[in-house]
Amino acid sequence: MTGRDRALLWALPLLLLTGCTQSPEPSTSGGTQAISSPQGSYTPAEPLAYQFPTDLAGDFNVVWSAQPGIDLDTRPGEVVRATAEAGTIMSVPGERNYPGAQAASKDAWTFPGGYTFESDPANLTEKNGTIFIHLTDLTSTATAIHAVGCKFEFGVIAELEQPSAGGYLGGSAFAVDATRPADAVDPRENLSRNEPTGTGDRAPRFDAFAPWSVTYRTIPHDDPRLDSCLPTGTEIAKDHPAYADYPFTDDTTSVSVIKPPNRALFPVLPQSPAWPAP
């Protein structure tokens, strides 16, 4: 496979299945780059009344996995999950993203490659099916969290005239960084986050971020910390109905399939982990 082919395959799921606008990077002239605030006040939905914006983002769930030793149900794991999942719908209007996401990410533009969850309606594309996210690295202190992972979007299909799915098995690589003031009280620090099987919500009906400030950014897919992503992606794709007839070999690094618009090939698997009730 040529480098050009690999680049095209890498771009395919991003072009067809996602839509996002990268926030401006900080000025390199030594000063702070000015950024205009959107007109009007930010009035997020009351957390208890929050509903996932299926009408804008599509009908899809997120299924998480992680390297051994990483606990997705810890407070750092919860902050990372909330941030990465907010990143899957960053093109919806900010007030319809996860409760607290827009406020928590408002300074993310100061980091190279960082995104703010303020919306990008021009690139909004519905997704239907299941997004798989595999966390490869998670470290935390009392005031900082850092995580790296891969997002596999070959499990979703867009509402297009010629629906297609496909892409690099290593996924689109991302990083999450979060910080909080040393004297800030985290109201969710010692809460239980385990939900019995078959219960829980698709999205949090509470602010899963405060008092953390978060940055979601893309990173090069050849980052050595992502070595586990390729075998994970291969195993997911092998079990996915859209790729049942795809010839996988030991050196398979990408998948590409175009089929008639059949949602049955892209099932919406249960959200995992589900979000606990407020």
Encode pLDDT of 115-133 as tens digits: 999 888 877 888 999 999 9
The residue-averaged pLDDT of 263-270 equals: 93
Can you tell me the distance from the alpha carbon of 238 to that of 252, in angstroms, rounded to the nearest whole number?
Answer: 11
| Structural domain includes residue 179 | yes
- Domain count for the chain, please give it: 1
Say if residue 38's pLDDT is above 70: no
Cβ pair 84, 151 in contact under 8 A: yes
Token pair for residue 13? 């799921």
CA 254 to chain CA centroid, nearest Å: 20
Of the candidates 272, 174, 177, which has an alpha carbon nearest to the alpha carbon of residue 226? 174
Give the global pTM.
0.82
Token pair for residue 219? 């990173």
Cβ pair 127, 17 in contact under 8 A: yes
Give the Å distances, CA to CA, from 1 to 7, 154, 173: 10, 19, 20
pLDDT value for 67: 96
Strand, coil or helix: 158: strand
In which band, very low, low, confident or very high, does the pLDDT at 31 lie, cut at 50, 70 and 90?
very low
Strand, coil or helix: 40: coil
Beta-strand runs (E) in 80-171? 114-115, 127-140, 144-152, 156-158, 164-168
Token pair for residue 62? 């997120």
Of 113-122, 210-219, 233-242, give the lowest mean pLDDT range.
Answer: 113-122
| Structural domain includes residue 162 | yes
| Structural domain includes residue 50 | no
| Structural domain includes residue 224 | yes
| Structural domain includes residue 158 | yes
Q: Name which residue leads in pLDDT, 45 or 93.
A: 93
Say if residue 222's pLDDT is above 90: no
Of 134-143, 208-217, 261-270, give the lowest mean pLDDT range.
Answer: 261-270
Can you tell me the distance from the alpha carbon of 230 to that of 258, in angstroms, rounded to the nearest whole number?
Answer: 21
DSSP state of 273: S
Place of tokens 């690099």: 168
Say if residue 45's pLDDT is above 60: no
Q: Which residue range is the domain that position 252 belongs to?
A: 3-19+70-184+200-265
| Structural domain includes residue 120 | yes
